[in-house]
Structure 1
Amino acid sequence: MSDLLIQADELKARLQRPGCLVFDVRHDLAKPNAGREAYQQGHIPHALYLDHEMQLCAPCTGQNGRHPLPDRADFAALMRAQGLTARSDVVVYDAGNSMFAAHLWWMLRWLGHESVAVLDGGWAAWLAADGPVESGLHEASISEAQALQGLVQTRQPSMPTVDARAVLGNLDEPRFTVLDARAPERFSGQVEPMDPVGGHIPGALNRPFVQNVQADGRFKPASQLRAEFESLLGDRLDRGIVHQCGSGITACHNLFAMELAGFRGSALYPGSWSEWCSNPDRPVAKGA
């Protein structure tokens, strides 16, 4: 399995060997049950389903964004219950463009688990490769030996985060560049279908996450991604990048694409725009 991406044919071979955990995170922000229903109709054999609304976020308070990060210890317990150990090779996939898969990839790396890859092209690529399909619900099975092995949850997170206070402080004394993964019309404030306020964090640049993939949902070649990020960010790459979006999900897609391009170590603002705009004292910019 490669560092970050795995192809469908590679995964077919990998499934025959022990120690591989596959997670299905198909989801529809407008239809919260759609991902689970799709999973039950058909999924990669032995894949486990994780729900972005019910399992992969903390409760919303109205001030912490639409998909707040869970407590790290709670997330570790959830993944332990799925059978994850320090020795597990993990593959994550969604319907096709990897917006939700990249988020779980980031969360696992944030937890300290390094061996995790995204299925390039997701479920659509699996079907196109004539991968076997299983229906129904596959339950996690965890042995006593697995439970005793535990997780690497005591390690420092390998994926850094920043909070709203740090982003606010950065406006007056810039130390990093904020990169917004939302669509241009949401960034500019022309439309805002999900949050009560339109616009963007002052000084942020826009890189819609869909620009990271090709028409079939697979990621662009690393060399192309590198050239595109260099063109957009220039010498800002040397000063640090913080990714954000609407609620911290598609921001991980840009972060993942930058890792593919060889730009390692950027950070995530998990609360993103939905947290930022919940406080009227935080400034809002409009336009492109």
Structure 2
Amino acid sequence: MYTTLLSAEQLRDLQAAKARLMVFDCTFDLMDAASGEKQYLQAHIPGAVYAHLDHALSDPPQPDAEGHLRAPVDAASGGRHPLPSREKFATWLSSVGFANDMQAVVYDRNGNNYCGRLWWMLKWLGHEAAAVLDGGLQAWQATGGEVRAGSEPSHFQSNFQPGRPLRRLVTTQEVVRNLGQQVQTLIDARALPRYRGDVEPLDPVAGHIPGALNRPFGSNMGPDGRFKPADQLRAEFEQLLQGRDSRTVVHHCGSGVSAVPNIIAMEIAGFAPTALYAGSWSEWCRTPGLPVEKS
């Protein structure tokens, strides 16, 4: 069972052994929501299922009476990419044929960014056997992995059953309650200019949650697009935390997606699983009365 990362070679070994597994392509582009599926149809790992960030891995916001986009009432978070309820996500997994006894392998073409969302959601549903293909499709192709164009045959409906959550989801109310206290250490995964409030291309307010530390998610990757070695990641996070208790860490970003590579990196480094504030900055800055920090 693979629970954090696996290599292209390890994936080929699983395929050769005819292991019970399902591969998911999570390629996406925030600026062009249709391009990820187009890239999938041009080339993907044979048998891979496409997992669309907006439709499969989020519960899309809906306009209210005033035309403002709001998360569905049963969504598990707010923000630009509201988490669907555990039940709704389990229904999607069943619809693509994913079963409780399968190994999940997730990848993208985006520096291990969007596939992390599916990895985390599977853990949230109690499914431990989920791993990121380290280096994504680029690493697969670089080692001679075959790709296929077009769509894949549909799978038989399964009956995926959620289990006890293996990762912790944090709400805006919890973040507010613990703001500035030692029981909570916020880590913001957005790029430094967005964290500082110099620019904000996606949300209505620029800045960050007061007291949050900054670690852009791309900091976890080496030049080859793979996660850095465990000892290097550990040293970097220890430097960032400056003695703070790693068990208090709550990760966030713009909409709860690019925060996950930081979660994965901490686990690779040997830290215990840390929490995710899925609503992230997009929910925080749209909530009236909450403080904003810049610089």
Q: Does the TM-score normalized on the shorter chain lie above 0.5?
A: yes
User: Is 2:26 aligned against 1:25?
Assistant: yes
Structure-1 residue corresponding to 2:160: 151
Q: Distance in 2 between matches of 1:172 and 1:135?
A: 50
Q: CA deviation at 1:265?
A: 2.2
Extract unaligned runs of 5+ from structure 2. Answer: 63-68, 71-77
Query: Which protein has the bigger helix share?
Result: 1
User: Which residue does 1:106 correspond to in 2?
Assistant: 120
Residue 102 of structure 2 is matched in structure 1 by: 88
Q: Distance in 2 between matches of 1:238 and 1:10?
A: 30
Instruction: Please give the alpha-carbon distance, in whole angstroms, between the structure 1 residues aligned to 2:281 and 2:140.
Output: 33
State the aligned residue count.
281
Q: Counterparts in 2 of 1:199-238, with a 5 A limit?
A: 199-238=207-246
What 5-or-longer segments of structure 1 have no aligned partner?
Answer: none
Matched, 1:196 2:204: yes
Q: Does structure 2 retain, via aligned residues, the 8 Å contact 1:222–1:261? A: yes
Q: Note if contact 1:243-1:266 (Cα within 8 Å) is conserved in structure 2.
A: yes
Code of the residue aligned with 1:184 in structure 2: it is L
The root-mean-square deviation of aligned C-alpha atoms, in Å, is 1.4
Distance 1:48 1:191 in 2: 35
- 1:235 is paired with a residue whose SS is coil
Deviation at 1:94, TM superposition (A): 0.1
1:20 shift after superposition: 1.2
- 1:85 Cα offset (Å): 1.3
Q: Does 1:58 align with 2:72?
A: no
1:280 partner letter: P
Give me the whole-angstrom Cα distance separating, in 1, the residues matched to 2:267 and 2:34.
31
Determine the structure 2 residue equivalent to 1:259: 267
Q: Give the letter for the 2:49 counterpart.
A: L
CA distance in 1, matches of 2:180, 2:13: 52
Structure 1 equivalent of residue 8 of structure 2: 8
Amino acid at match of 1:190: D
Q: CA separation of 1:140/1:263 partners in 2, compared to 1, >3 Å: closer, same or farther?
A: farther
Any idea what the Cα deviations from partners look like across 1:66-95, whole Å, max 9, x if unmatched? 001001100001001121111101100000
Corresponding residue of 1:77: 91
CA distance in 1, matches of 2:84, 2:232: 34
- Structure 1 window deviating more from structure 2 (40-49 vs 227-236): it is 227-236
| Contact 1:25 1:101 (C-alpha < 8 Å) held by counterparts | yes
Per-residue deviation, residues 134-173 of structure 1 (Å, max 9, x unmatched): 1111133126xxx3xx3341x2211101111111111254
Q: For residues 193 and 186 of structure 2, what CA distance do their matches in structure 1 show?
A: 17
Q: Name the structure 1 match of 2:249.
A: 241
Kept after mapping to 2: 8 A contact 1:201/1:285: yes
Q: Given that residues 113 and 152 in structure 1 are in contact (C-alpha distance below 8 angstroms), is that contact kept between their aligned partners in structure 2?
A: no
> Contact 2:252/2:280 (CA < 8 Å) preserved in 1?
yes
Q: Aligned equivalents of 2:214 and 2:175: distance in 1? A: 16
CA distance in 1, matches of 2:126, 2:10: 24
Amino acid at match of 2:202: M
Change in Cα spacing, 1:171 to 1:127, as seen in structure 2 (3 Å) is same
**What is the one-letter code of the residue matched to 1:262?**
G
The alpha-carbon distance between structure 1 residues 239 and 96, as it changes in their structure 2 partners (threshold 3 A), is closer
Quote the Cα distance in structure 1 between the aligned partners of 2:284 and 2:92.
28
Alpha-carbon shift at residue 264 of structure 1 (Å): 1.6
| Normalised TM-score (structure 2) | 0.92
Within the candidate set 133, 136, 142, 2:147 is matched to 133
Post-superposition Cα deviations, 1:85-126, rounded to whole Å, max 9, x if no partner, equal: 111011000004100111110011001111011000001111
Q: Give the residue type in structure 2 aligned to 1:201.
A: I
Tell me if structure 2 keeps the 8 A contact 1:96–1:217.
no
Q: Percent identity?
A: 47
In structure 2, what is the Cα distance between the partners aligned to 1:140 and 1:237? 46
